[in-house]
A and B are shown apart, each in its own frame.
Chain A
């Protein structure tokens, strides 16, 4: 379980983005964080990833405070973050190579990590994400959807228990985006992941978030939280419940803009 306990965060010489924010994420939850640009949703994700530290308050993961990036947390970004000089396969193996580089030290690498069967794990993920015929290509030779699949394979090869995604599908065309959204839910179920996706797209939050947090203009203190337990099934896109959630989300975002 992840607990944000009265978290306050501000960038130096700026007003706070979050003020005494409290939030609980249960194991296995599928969260979406929705908000306009500048609302602090990416900052929230970086806080969860341990890449930023709160000014006050605490983030607890399974009871222990988060002091830095945690080896069992996977992060997927909009612009993929792939190394241009490495082939798709080399990119997928990167996280594992870093693990082998440090060895199971408990800080960069989980203490119980088995560093012996990397080739098998990489082969599995390349196959699972349909990248076999692209494995020898460089990122510059891949489409956006293929690049994001490489980034997903790279992250999942590390056996994360928490998957954080920052606008992962925003720069993709609509059919590719839908395919990857469906894939995300399949993978979540297969790997028993807890997931948090951050997005500015109402439809994406509605399709991927079984619980949705709506952020407004900062500082965010008591964000709106919506229950959307029907999400997670590709068929949900065609159901009335989906349209209802979209409408509610749109209303919240509009009213926030009016009051801002």
Chain B
């Protein structure tokens, strides 16, 4: 095995150990605060852990899967629409001049304020939730893919053209790999926000999903351990997505991590 590979594997092991230590520290901190507060509204990690396992068999797993499906569907939809649009804008200065003022206006609007409007327009069901998360991811991916396509050095394009590449080969060997890396960066940056907004969206007009589950147990049933089990599930969803994107990025874009 090469020295470079050894160093990379060693770094991964160290990283994993550090993350586990951090998790352990957070759980200990949670337990200490829970002892100090000593109220039913803040049960300790042991209680919540037990309830979490019980609730998994009693519906929580289903809510988790519904939320997971909503996020994944939005990610797939956003990548499929935003990536080609971003490449098109990044390749053509003319198109970019036409659309960039619109994107400039829409990009910074916090999409979460559109939740009530989207719900009014599209009613109940999965679609409005998927649509809201889609909007957040769409703009993030669009902007990053566009900038990465536009930022490819003209000299790089010239030299690849001089190797015989026409439009199709430039797309395949230059624009596509450059965008892959931008898509993953966009997802890493926005997947946390996406899960947060999913929670808000699931408070309305649904009886499925982790947002619904947390709010039902917290403010209707006053079952605090179950509510915390929902929060843990939501954290697992967010962390799981984040780690998956991180892992994908390391696999698909190893050059970014090579030192």
* A interface with B by C-beta (< 8 Å): 46, 49, 51, 69, 71, 73-87, 94-95, 97-99, 101-102, 107-109, 136-138, 140-141, 151, 154-155, 158
Contacts and interface: CB of A to CB of B under 8 A. Distances in A.
B178 to A, nearest CB: 7
B162 A154 contact: no
A220 B259 CA distance: 46
A83 B163 contact: no
Contact of A158 (B2, B153, B163, B172): B163
Given A94-B173, A97-B173, A98-B173, A138 B255 contact: yes
7 contacts: A46-B158, A51-B161, A82-B156, A86-B255, A94-B173, A109-B164, A136-B2
B46 to A, nearest CB: 46
A85 B178 contact: yes
A101 B172 contact: yes
Given A81-B156, A136-B2, A141 B259 contact: yes
Contact of B173 (A76, A83, A155, A158): A83
A108 B164 CA distance: 5
Contact of A83 (B156, B164, B253): B156
B126 to A, nearest CB: 36
A9 B161 CA distance: 21
A154 B163 contact: yes
Given A137-B258, A141-B258, A108 B158 contact: no
B60 to A, nearest CB: 41
B176 to A, nearest CB: 10
Nearest to A50: B162
Given A77-B155, A79-B153, A86-B255, 11 more contacts: A69-B161, A79-B155, A83-B177, A101-B168, A102-B166, A109-B164, A137-B4, A138-B254, A141-B258, A141-B259, A158-B163
Contacts of A101: 168-169, 172-173
A98 B164 contact: yes
A85 B161 contact: no
